[in-house]
Amino acid sequence: MPELPEVETVVRGIRRRASGKEVLKVECFYPGTVRDIRDKSTGYGTIEMVDRRGKYILIECSAQVVIMVHLRMTGKLIYEDSGEKESSHCRAQIDFRDGSRLIFDDVRTFGKITIMDKGKEKELLSKLGREPLAEDFTADYLEQKLSKRTVSIKQALLDQKVIAGLGNIYVAEILYRAKVSPLRAAHKIKKREIKEIVKYTQQVLSQAIEKNGTTISDYRSVEDKTGEFQNFLKVYGKEVCDCGEKIKRIKQGGRSTYYCPHCQT
């Protein structure tokens, strides 16, 4: 399931492969996967910029159009130079003038591509919390965001309005390293611990980006490669902690949570 590091890896891949290419069309092969909300459908022009906001991919085109992609759980954007490989669950496709394309493959069909007039994306993404790797993601900011939340710290960190880009795997890894129990109420986390959470959020995400993300099952880069950060996971999907204690697996808000009751308090 792609979270910030996986999305960032995909963004870098698109930048490398498709910058400057002329977009001919965006084809939709599954009802609802592609939505065009432009005032009027003109062309696209060429790809000028590829960015990320939280888990959203933003492909900005010269004709004042933005193609916004969300991979959700099983979405993949795979670059193809020409028509050799076939994708098993191709839901949409971005076609370039030179015959190459980006295939949007998505087993569970939750992923979405939204085409909009430039500027509209700011409005749609305005509710997202700060970027965890940006300068303004500080302990003061997080403290303020958590102060009124009675849900667990695990659920609060998953909320994209608090921090943009975290998902189930990285929240588990961050709380493990910060030695904070996922069960604690968000507003009861001490400033000292919030500082640890901020520190490890930055560290874990940076390291995961260096390793091109985490592949548990579906995630692939634009080059159709797996990530390597799964080899550095300490708690997600694990049986035993480094300390020797058994890792506990519970459910919070319908999602699985992994933690070490001995190390995380």
- Tokens 């500082």 locate to 195
- Work out the burial of residue 265: count CB atoms within 10 Å of its CB; fewer than 13 is exposed, 13-18 middle, 19 or more buried: exposed
Give the H or E element holding residue 73.
none
Q: What are residue 129's phi and psi, to 5 degrees?
A: -70, -175
* Under rule CB under 7 A, residue 54 binds DNA: yes
**Residue 119 to residue 220: CA distance in whole angstroms:** 29
| Contact with DNA (CB under 7 A) among 12, 53, 120, 149 | 149
Interface pick for DNA out of 62, 64, 87, 109 (rule CB under 7 A):
109
Pattern 209-248, binding to DNA, x per CB under 7 A? ----------------------------------------
By the rule CB under 7 A, 107 interacts with DNA:
yes
Beta carbon nearer to DNA, 96 or 227? 227
CB 201 within 8 A of CB 163: yes
Helices 191-210 and 4-18 meet at what angle, rounded to 10? 40
Catalytic residue among 21, 55, 91, 112: 55
State the minimum distance, in angstroms, from the CB of residue 45 to DNA.
26
Task: Return the exposure string of 88-103: e unless at least 16 CB atoms fall within 10 Å of the residue's CB, then b.
Answer: ebbbbbbbbeeebbbb
254 touches DNA by CB under 7 A: yes
Task: Please say if 255 is a catalytic residue.
Answer: yes
Among all residues, which ones are annotated catalytic?
2-3, 55, 255
- Site residues (vs DNA, CB under 7 A): 1, 3, 54-55, 70, 72-74, 89, 107-110, 148-151, 155-156, 158, 160-161, 167-168, 186, 251, 253-256
